Structures are given as structure tokens and as C-alpha cells.
Structure 1
Amino acid sequence: MSIHRSRQQRIRHGCCGCLESDREKDGNMKDEREILALADYHETFRVNGCEAELIINRKMEDHPCLFGFVTLTEQAEDVKALFAAMEQRARELGFHALVGPVNYCSWMQYRWAISRFDLHLFPDCTNPPYYPELIRAAGYEPLYTYRSANIDMHNPQYQMGEVLYQQKLREGFTFSLYEGDAVYSQADTVFAISSAAFRGSHLYCDIPLSYFRALYLQWTKGLKIALCTAEYQGKTVGFVMGYDSPDGTCFISKTSAVLPEYRKHKIYTALMYLGWKYVTEHGYDKMMYHFQCEQKETFRRFDSEVESDEKRYAVFIKEF
């Protein structure tokens, strides 16, 4: 069995902030692999038709040794050989666990679907069912799990959100709605709030604003996006963002964030009420909550009678 390895990128221990100014000059970033310029080390491994990238990201607080950009065949022995080679290299580099799929960090694509392969959301993990089966056979197990589910808008939290929304208005908070191209005028603000809110979360690390604009925002082009923001004393302190599914079957709630110092003010609940109100006014009676991490401290399920169409995902780990 032949294992092919690409030329290695040298280990870097210093700050990669110098890359931002270089990339700011390059407005042509289209491929997500461009993010690997920020990695401390990366190397491509290939076994027959299987391929994966070994990625070292020392800015990652929880798991710096990753695999990503994965393509697998249904040949179990080839998959095992591919991961065995990456594990051996990881050991040589001083690591004792390999985590993935993660294309550098949670700003980029990560996770594999582990259920409801018939349900196609956007964006979504489009891996075949055999991916999680073969990774388990290679000795990996779920580390973090995620889920997406449709939530009926006619639920008790909607009424509670309305009460909190009115209370926040009395306290001096204001709220704004942006739609379509107007959403992109708030991109830098969304990035800043997201960075502050998600810092310390599973598989998160900071990336330069230029990479956010060039790579992360690419998947949003052409969508009918809506953004609700909360402001206090002229400062934006939180947001919720969602969009009509490209196939027109549902409205997807993709991202929400509130600055850490404002979380105790229950701004998130008021924002979610505005999101629900927007969705119902546009003819939907359900909203898809997309990619919720089940290990997040604030994760809560809705009552079973208001949930439907759950799809689950996972990031895997093997310790050695």
C-alpha cells in the first residue's frame, strides 16, 4: 500500500499576525485551503483515493492537532492506513491526540453528518454515511456533537421573548434590522462581536478580518439574509443572523452572538424574539436552528412537541 505525503510546511512558533497585512492586499482568496497559510504546520497525506490534511494550529486552545480537508473512499484498509500515517506524524511532532474533521478552526468547515443524510440544509456537511462509520473503525469516537432542528414558532419562549424585548426597550436598548446587501455593511461589526463572544469556545481561534471577509463570507453570497442587532448607548452589543434556505423550504437561524459583558442582560432572548417575529411575518411557522453544539454550557433543547427534523453531526477524536 502506497502512502504519499506532500512537502511539509515548517513548524512556526511565533505570531502569524504579519500575514494579515499581506492578505489584505490579496482580494482573490476563493479556496478555503487559503486558511492553511495561518497554520503552524500542515501536510497532505494520500492513500490511493483517500486524502486528508494534518494541521497544527497552536492558536487553538483545546485541540491544536487536527485533520481536515478530507476525501475518503469506501475502502476501510485505505482509510485506516491514511489515519495511521497522520497519527504517526502527529506523534513525531509531540502530540497525543488527533481531532477532526476541522479545516483549521471553527470559522471554516468542520464536522461530519452522523444522521439524517436525506435532509439537506445550507450550508451543510455533505459527507456520505460511510465517513463516520469508517472513522469509528479506525479507532475514533465523537468528541463534540452538534444538531440542527426545526422549531415551531408557536412556543412559550416566543411570549417570554416579547416581554424581555419590551423590557430592554425601556432600559434604553435599541434594535435594528438589516436585509439583503445592507447586511454586509455590518460585516466588520458581526466579526468583532463573534470573535469576542466565541473566544474560548470549542475549536475556536481568532482569524484576521481579511480571511473572514474573503473566505467565511463566500458561502453567504446570493442568500436572502436578515440580521437583527441590539445596540446600547450607540454600541452594537449583539446580533442574530439567518436566511431563507436556498430551496425555499425553511428559514435557517445560523449565527447569534452577544458581547460577554452584556450576556447577563438577556439580550439574546430579546434578539431571538425579533428573529421569530421576522420569520413568522415572512410566512414561516418554523425556524431551523442550525449547528447547535450539544456540549455548550448554554445548550438547551426545546420541548419535544415543538421540535422536528433533527439532524446530528460530530467532530471525532483519537488519543494515542
Structure 2
Amino acid sequence: MSVETIYKVTLHPFINESIASLKAMTHLTGTSGDAFMDQVDDFRFKGYAVCSEVTGCINGVIMMHHYPETAIAIGNSVCETMFDEKYNHTEMNDELSNALAEWGNTIVGRSTDLLSRHNLEFNFSSPYFVHNFDDMEKYLVGVKEIVTVPITVEGVGRYYFNLLVRDVNFQTSGAKREESSGIANPHSKPLPTSSKILLVDDSAMIRKALKRFLNNLGYENIIEADDGSVAVAMVESEAPDFMFMDVVMGEMNGDEALSKIRANGHNVPVVMLSSVTDNALVKQCEASGVSGFIFKPIQANNGAEIIKSYLKIA
């Protein structure tokens, strides 16, 4: 299969979304270079990667691949945009890893959603991270082709998109990025500032950002959960007045948690958050009774305003 075909069908949405999300979440400017075939035997791990397994009509791995210095610079920029503070970390740490995870989740979520609209029958795993050079060998097992696209970040350096292809079988064309603003809260009565709000997200960075936005709006009674299963239990034990809940999490996704919360007889208002803009998912959550659906990313320049527009009941 030609580089052009694989790139246009599979990588192109990731490249477009990567550059768009780079601008939105870091205020950095990226430009893509030409796609080329990497030699499998000569392929080398550069130090940090966000990966997603691809199954279905393509079997392989999508890899967003950074040199350490580029990963650190982008991670600092994501944090600065999210929290409106200067970040100058010089080494990879948990905070920067969380920032890159959120950036990667947004890119993969939006890109896979766009691809799914074209009936390509792709399946993508949740993004995960590779830090160790020794881990690379297992990803190369069975790989027949590697398509690489360099992305140059102005004033920072480069990162790369790699598609490690084990097998492929599809027929279609590329997808176009679409802007998504979310599904608004239909209610009009503001949530009292004394209310207890539960934040549910497996990203500590997102919980930190949401808590800061809520504090700026006068809400101080904030509790947190890092998984849908924990959220279900906390609704029972803590009786929150309002919830913001991510969709894609580890043990239990937010849509499943929402269904369980409703099955348990709780009518707490829930606003869902996700980088995945799939209409079927939105309708499924709406059927379980949600008070809105926020499409990520949100950051310092618009976060409080967006959150405030969803803090309504009845």
C-alpha cells in the first residue's frame, strides 16, 4: 500500500488535529512535513511517545513521538495555557506527563471520532505512554511498514507521527476536522455556590483545572474521583448536588457510571466531558439524563466561562 493512501486515510486526521490542538492547548504553531517510509530495522525510540493500538481494518500502532526536550517544552506550554501560570520544568515529571496525556487524549479522541464517521471500521485503544527505550522492541514485532510524518513546532523543535503497520485492509478517503462546542445545559436556574460538586476524571490535571475554575466562580465544596466506579460509590456516600464527569476512564467509563447512578435512583445533575465528539455517545448519555456535554479542550482563557454556563439546575 502506498504512503499516500495510508497517510491520507489514517494519519491525516491525526496530523490536522495535532496541529489544531497544539494551537488551542499551547498557543504554539506547528507545521507538518512530507510523509515518508521509515526503515523498520533502523527505527529508533526518541524518548517519549503517546501511543494508541489500532485494530480492525488496520492492525498496528499510532505513535505520537517526541524527543525529551520537545515533550518537556510542549508539556510546559499545555500547563501554562491550562492554568495561566509560567511553567519552566526542565525534566519530565508527573505534572508534565499528565499535561501530555491530556493533549494526546484530545488528539486521539477527536481523530478517531472523525475516522469512525467514515465507516473505516477502526478500533483504537485509549492512549498510553512509552518512556523506556527497551519497550520499543515489542511494538515492532510483526511490523511491515512504518509511515512517518514530522511536525515542526516553531521555536521548540520537532515531534513525529508514526503509523506502525502490521496489516491493512480498507477502501475510503480522509476526514475533515470539525469544530465542536458541546451540548448546552438546557436549564436556567444557577447552582447555589454552597452546593457540593463532584469532579470525576482520571486526569489529575483536568480535576485541578476544573477545581480552579469552580473556585474562581465561588464554589468551594469540591470533591473528586478518578474513575467511574469511584464516582458511583461517592454518589451514594457523599450525595453531591452536581457532577462533572469524563467519559473515557480506566476501570469504568463515565457513560457506564452515569447509567449505574441513574439505575440506583439518583437524579443528581451530571455534565459529561470528553474529547470524543461521537453523536451516538452523546445521545446515549442524553438518554440517561445529562445536563450538558462539554467537548474538550478547555483552558484558562475560557474555562471558567464555559463551566459557568453549565452550572444550572431546573
TM-score normalised per structure 1:
0.26
Which structure's residues are more often helix, by fraction?
2
TM-score normalised per structure 2:
0.27
Which structure's residues are more often strand, by fraction?
1
